[in-house]
């Protein structure tokens, strides 16, 4: 069977990996990115470069968006040049950005008016997982829409889990990311304490790296620290945004996230210090002093 035509909106760290993966798997692909310079390598690999999200969506049976935040998502989906203006009835739309639940539900309602299946399908994983098809998709939407998405999701991820109606995937992703942010902020504080205490830093790090604390996230932070390389796989400014969204969503449920609030302040300070475009692990640099 011929593969479905796909459009990818947003060619950043994650969207670029997804687009490359789809091309390598033989999917007919259209791409859109606000900064056209990022589209060149995809054009060279056979993708059609669209001048607008509307044009990209008009060429596709499946549309995938992977952008930074609510504002960027609104920009690519809505308006005269937005993707929803170009989709055909019956198209399958996947919003794989990390967004607020309210916006995801609003977008789902707008997609329904266009008679399209809509899934919020954010991911866990980072740049290397996107490139190798090892993402984990957390999906909200209809059972029928989820079934339709399986072919493309199986190429992009190691697993896709249907969590419930629209908004379910978005909320679970925010829960996941706020816990990651709290862990990263507390580890950065721990390293700051080690540095200030007069303890042998390398021996302390060896203890932490071989204790119950040493989750994959902490190991990644340790690797970045050891190499003094904070090239972004997941930018610090996006972790900051995600913790903020999680706090807002929890407040609507009457749950104060008492560990997330101070973690957010730690990340906000790191952004103020100019670290926002580095990997989230660069939060250790903010507390280095």
Could you state, in order of their start, the residue ranges of all structural domains in the chain?
Answer: 6-166, 171-286
Report the share of the chain in percent with pLDDT over 90. 98
- pLDDT tens string 2-36: 899 999 999 999 999 999 999 999 999 999 999 99
CATH topology classification for 171-286: 1.10.1040
Model pTM score: 0.96
Q: Is the pLDDT of residue 289 over 60?
A: no
- pLDDT tens string 31-56: 999 999 999 999 999 999 999 999 99
Burial of 230 (0-12, 13-18, 19+ CB in 10 A): buried
| 240-279 CB burial, b ≥16 within 10 A, e <16 | bbbbbbbbebbeeeeeebeebeebbebbbebbeeebbebb
User: What's the mean pLDDT when you consider all of the chain?
Assistant: 97
- Are 60 and 6 spatial neighbours (Cβ–Cβ below 8 Å)? yes
Q: Is the pLDDT of residue 288 over 90?
A: no
- pLDDT tens string 103-132: 999 999 999 999 999 999 999 999 999 999
Mean pLDDT over 228-242 rounds to 97
Look up residue 191 and give its two tokens. 């390293």
What pLDDT, on a 0 to 100 scale, did the predictor assign at position 287?
Answer: 80
Sign of CA dihedral 151, 86, 101, 19: positive
- pLDDT tens string 147-171: 999 999 999 999 999 999 999 999 9
Give the architecture-level CATH label for domain 6-166.
3-Layer(aba) Sandwich (3.40)
Catalytic positions: 173
């Amino acid at each position: 069977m011929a593969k479905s035509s796909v459009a990818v909106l947003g060619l950043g760290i994650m969207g670029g990996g997804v687009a490359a993966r789809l091309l390598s798997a033989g999917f007919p692909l259209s791409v859109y990115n606000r900064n056209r310079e990022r589209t060149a390598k995809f054009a060279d690999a056979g993708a059609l470069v669209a001048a607008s999200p509307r044009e990209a969506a008009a060429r596709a049976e499946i549309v995938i968006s992977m952008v930074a935040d609510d504002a960027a998502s609104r920009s690519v989906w809505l308006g005269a040049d937005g993707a929803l203006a170009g989709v055909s009835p019956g198209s399958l739309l996947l919003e794989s950005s990390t967004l607020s639940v309210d916006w995801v539900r609003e977008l789902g309602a707008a997609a329904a008016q266009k008679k399209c299946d809509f899934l919020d399908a954010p991911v866990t994983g980072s740049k290397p997982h996107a490139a190798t098809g090892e993402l984990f998709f957390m999906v909200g939407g209809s059972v029928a829409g989820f079934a339709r998405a399986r072919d493309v999701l199986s190429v992009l991820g190691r697993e896709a889990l249907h969590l419930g109606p629209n908004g379910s995937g978005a909320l679970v992703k925010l829960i996941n990311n706020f816990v990651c942010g709290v862990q990263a902020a507390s580890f950065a504080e721990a390293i700051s304490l080690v540095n200030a205490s007069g303890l042998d830093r390398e021996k302390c790090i060896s203890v932490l790296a071989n204790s119950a604390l040493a989750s994959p996230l902490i190991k990644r932070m340790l690797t970045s620290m050891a190499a003094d390389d904070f090239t972004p796989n997941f930018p610090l400014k996006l972790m900051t945004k995600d913790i903020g969204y999680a706090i807002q969503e929890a407040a609507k449920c009457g749950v104060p996230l008492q560990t997330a609030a101070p973690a957010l302040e730690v990340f906000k300070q790191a952004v103020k210090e100019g670290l926002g475009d580095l990997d989230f692990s660069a939060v250790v640099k903010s507390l280095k002093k």
